[in-house]
Amino acid sequence: MSAEIIDGKKISDDIKSELKAEIVRLKNQGVVPGLAAVLVGDNPASALYVKMKAKACEKIGIYSEVIKCENSTTHDEMVDLVSELNKREDIDGILVQSPLPDHIDEPAITVLIDPGKDVDGFHPLNQGLLLAGRPRFEPATPMGIVEILERSGHNPAGKNVVILGRGFLVGRPLSVMLSTKTRLTNATVTICHTGTPDISDYTKKADIIVAAMGKAMFLKGDMIKPGAVIIDVGTNQIDDPDHPKGKRLVGDVDFDSAKDIAGAITPVPGGVGPMTIAMLLKNTVKACKIRNGLI
């Protein structure tokens, strides 16, 4: 039997429609959410992500400003730029696209962003609030995973969840979110990583697997329990001579072998990716409401 394909694009479109309606209500009260995205250098993937984020903002009525900086921008110039954006009344959210060039101290820049405008949820204060069980801004990708599970009817409460990867952007915060006791989380969470001797031991017992370790097509059908829910966070370009461009995008899951065993699976593209952008928009609207005393 073939798995249900979870349509992240459709779910993210629903969320964006809900946000658009909320932004109309905010505008009727004289409030316009604003997001500033800072792009440093000429990394094509970063440029594409920032463009997609700005376009998504404009589509639902968020004021969006993209600040493009030369690769040669100094650390001190970045400090000045973030300080300016922190002061701007019309900017509710600040996003500094990662990775920054090596000569800029990225963690030092992250700490400088006003935590009230940290819509990426990367500031240590927001990370600490998440750990303390009082989340304010959570990172967009794990937030999108919790939401895609909810909206596709796969509530993780009481389930065995295995997360592959302990990264700062996805695995680590997601493990905290999914193990927290809420109506939509409350799962038993295991994180597998490079120190795990036999990952199959864990994945074969999992009701839900989140693959977020950045290894192309790592999770195969014979590593999963029949009927499991598979969330694929990977975005890997692989060579493919049969493809017109000579390469194609694949996830951390071997989709073709997994789809015949899994109960449900997110595709790449069209799964978690669109959810990440929708959650950034959601955090920006939330920041705007908090800053205007509306929540």
- For ligand GUN, the binding residues (CB under 6 A) are 95-98, 120, 140, 169
Nearest to 250 by CA among 270, 280, 275: 270
- Shortest distance (Å) from residue 188 CB to ligand GUN: 27
Which listed residue (53, 159, 259, 282) is catalytic? 53
Which listed residue (16, 92, 97, 254) is catalytic? 97
Query: Is the Cβ of residue 114 or residue 120 nearer to ligand GUN in the bound state?
Result: 120
Query: Is the Cβ of residue 95 or residue 278 nearer to ligand GUN in the bound state?
Result: 95
Which listed residue (114, 120, 232, 252) is catalytic? 120
Active-site residue, 120 included: yes
Sheet of strand 34-40: strand arrangement: 63-69, 34-40, 93-96
**Which DSSP category does 2 fall into?**
P
What is d(CA 21, CA 34) in angstroms, rounded to the nearest whole number? 16
Nearest to 223 by CA among 212, 235, 211, 213: 211
Query: Is the Cβ of residue 170 or residue 258 nearer to ligand GUN in the bound state?
Result: 170
What is d(CA 100, CA 221) in angstroms, rounded to the nearest whole number? 37
Residue of minimal Cβ distance to ligand GUN: 98
Active-site residue, 10 included: no
- Shortest distance (Å) from residue 261 CB to ligand GUN: 30
Active-site residue, 252 included: no
- Shortest distance (Å) from residue 37 CB to ligand GUN: 8
Query: Is the Cβ of residue 265 or residue 279 nearer to ligand GUN in the bound state?
Result: 279
What is d(CA 244, CA 267) in angstroms, rounded to the nearest whole number? 20
Using an 8 Å Cβ cutoff, are 201 and 241 in contact? no
- Shortest distance (Å) from residue 99 CB to ligand GUN: 7
Beta bridge partners of 39: 68
Tell me how crowded residue 212 is: count the other CB atoms within 10 A of its CB.
26
- Shortest distance (Å) from residue 287 CB to ligand GUN: 14
Query: Which residues have C-beta within 8 Å of that of residue 224, sequence separation ≥ 6?
Result: 203, 204, 206, 209, 230, 258, 261, 262
Beta bridge partners of 93: 35
3-state secondary structure of 197: coil
Query: Is the Cβ of residue 36 or residue 178 nearer to ligand GUN in the bound state?
Result: 36
Catalytic residues: 53, 97, 120
